Amino acid sequence: MDDELWIGNIKCKTRSKMIEFTGEITNLEKTSYHCDICKKSFTQKSNLTTHRRIHTREKPYHCDICGKSFSLNDHLTKHKRIHTGEKPYHCDICGKSFSVSSNLTTHKRIHTGEKPFQCDICGKSFSQNELLTKHKRVHTGEKPYHCDICDKSFSRNDSLTKHKHIHTGEKPYHCDICGKSFSQKIGLSTHKHIHTGEKPHHCDTCGKSFSDGSTLIKHKHIHTGEKPFQCDICGKSFSQKISLTIHRHTHTGEKPYQCDICGKSFSDGSSITKHKYIHTGEKPYHCDICGKSFSQRSSLTIHRHTHTGDKPYQCDICDKSFSDGSSLTKHKHIHTEKNT
């Protein structure tokens, strides 16, 4: 029997095996196909042909339904399922079907809880590589998606798409109940709570519920006392951004809300809403004791004192009390007249 021989780190038990293996290596070298552009090598000519399309951007496979072209026949086959609705890949757990096998693989992680893609910075794991890529931009600050209108940048393509609706005025999300349209899906979801009465966002401090998350966040500032919005002119802080915006009008004198009936201007939206009740005669504030209606909430509050007997306005000179501020003001004239 021949002595055992080695070719590199591969052991050949016989000389004949060594000759046979050496021949295979030689044949492999002879049949290696090299890309003349990037010098990458392939064992099969068909693989080289497919690879070269990366450089030439050739797309010889055309969809006979929509005309879209592809560099690989396999990609065309997958694409055609969009038109045919074919979903040959089935989940053996829930029965859901998919047109592409990779989508089934990703879907199955919902059932298994598998998250094979891990962030090497913070250790957070994801079920999809695409989600990991998006997440990493939190650390890098990368914003590769740029608005060609205002140059604002975004870390996600879907965020850019939503942003562009501001410029185009497009509102692709329609309420199937009242027909109102929205530029963002979250806007539609929040709006629908008006119809359903749903308030899925709950305050863990007082239990109060809200139809949208942003309102809950604002509400929580009541409990925390947090006032994150600060006036850059006088330093006064506010729990809500809208309150800061209204406050700044006291510095600028701006009154951007104009009544379209009489032309009177106001510094905030709530004031113009109240003002318009003068023109419309609307009285949306109702007393739950006697049913009397009022155009202003403050008028209802004062009226309710007639039922409760409450007199919260006290004269600091004679201690006499009143149910409303205007009565106290009139009363104080008695003291000022005595002093003159």
User: Does any domain span residue 110?
Assistant: yes
* Same domain? 74 vs 95: no
For residue 78, is it within any domain? yes
Given its phi and psi angles, is residue 148 left (phi above 0), alpha (psi -120 to 50 degrees) or beta?
A: alpha
Q: Indicate whether 276 and 296 sit together in one domain.
A: no
Give pLDDT tens digits for 60-92. Answer: 999 999 999 998 898 899 899 889 989 999 999
3-state helix/strand/coil string of 284-307: CEECCCCCCEECCHHHHHHHHHHH
Instruction: Assess whether 323 and 289 both reside in one domain.
Output: yes
Tell me whether strands 313-314 and 321-322 are parallel, antiparallel or unpaired: antiparallel
Q: State both tokens at 159.
A: 């965020």
16 within domain boundaries: no
Asked if the structure places residue 169 within a domain, the reply is no
Domain count across the chain: 4
Do 63 and 95 fall into the same domain? no
Question: Do residues 53 and 80 share a domain?
Answer: yes
Percent of the chain with pLDDT over 90: 34
User: If you ran DSSP here, which 8-state letter would residue 127 be given?
Assistant: S
Q: What is the pLDDT of residues 200-249, one digit of tens each?
A: 889 999 999 988 888 888 888 889 888 888 999 999 998 888 889 889 98
Q: Are 307 and 301 within 8 A, CB to CB?
A: no
- Cα separation, 109 vs 102, in Å, equals 11
The range of the structural domain enclosing residue 135 comes to 89-140
pLDDT of residue 340: 60
pTM over 0.75: no
Q: Is 256 domain-assigned?
A: yes
Per-residue pLDDT band for 15 (boundaries 50, 70, 90) equals low
Quick check: is 22 in a domain?
A: no
To 5 degrees, how large is the angle CA 261–CA 263–CA 266? 110
Report the mean per-residue pLDDT for the chain: 86
Determine the 3-state secondary structure of 199 from DSSP.
coil
Instruction: Report residue 279 as tokens.
Output: 């023109």
Query: Is the same domain home to 80 and 94?
Result: no
> Is residue 291 domain-resident?
yes
CATH of the domain at 331: 3.30.160.60
Question: Is residue 334 located within the same domain as residue 290?
Answer: yes
Q: Is residue 184 part of a domain?
A: no
Note the pLDDT of residue 1: 41
Do 201 and 216 meet the contact criterion of CB atoms below 8 Å apart?
Answer: yes
**Residue range 86-134, pLDDT digits in tens:** 999 999 999 999 988 989 999 999 899 999 999 999 999 999 998 999 8
Flag whether pLDDT at 22 surpasses 70: no
